[in-house]
Amino acid sequence: MQKRGNKAAAAAGPVQQIDVPVIALADLNGYLSKPFNPRELSGIMQRTPAAPRKQSEPSTTADTSDCDTVFDRDGLIERLDHDRELIEMVLNTFLQNFNNKLEKLKKAFSENNAKNVRLHGHSIKGVAANVGAVNIQNLGFRIEQAGASGELHTVTALVDDITKEYAAFKKVALDFLNNA
């Protein structure tokens, strides 16, 4: 939560329709869902909010046929306000750290630790959303849900899928970094 004088805005994960009355009762200027655009925050803080983006849970299927589901370049560029240096830093950080996150997930799965599977799925979902790795975000969500429900038998296939999606994302992201 960010406060400036008597103004406030909440930043959270995906906002569900059921959350909107609670936000209104809290007398907040508005709300943002992660990943958010800095201009949206500025708009809310100025009491002239930008039109909120429609938020929804990630889809439950990964479709690699559409390049935009592998890498939402336009969304990343907009979220980072066309700052080329920041875009490069964020993408490179993701590319350098993703395998570590994946190894932590695999370790939690091998230990049959549903709580940590959920935690690492959530973490992967979040970092993927930040860089526009849509398919990885969707798979991270599914892993998070599997951990939350204790249905770890689905995680093996999801880890295989997320490994393939990371390879596809890495190729497209490196092409983007090298050609832009």
pLDDT at 61: 40
pLDDT digits (tens, 9 = 90+) for 42-53: 666 665 434 444
Q: What is the distance between the alpha carbons of residues 145 and 138, in angstroms, rounded to a whole number?
A: 11
pLDDT digits (tens, 9 = 90+) for 87-122: 999 999 999 999 999 999 999 999 999 999 999 999
pTM for the full model? 0.70
pLDDT grade, residue 60 (50/70/90)? very low
pLDDT digits (tens, 9 = 90+) for 116-148: 999 999 999 999 999 999 999 999 999 999 999
pLDDT digits (tens, 9 = 90+) for 149-175: 999 999 999 999 999 999 999 999 999
Task: Give the chain's radius of gyration (CA, Å).
Answer: 17
Contact in structure between 112 and 55 (CB atoms under 8 Å) = no
- Domains of the chain listed by start with CATH number: 2-45 (no CATH), 67-179 (1.20.120.160)
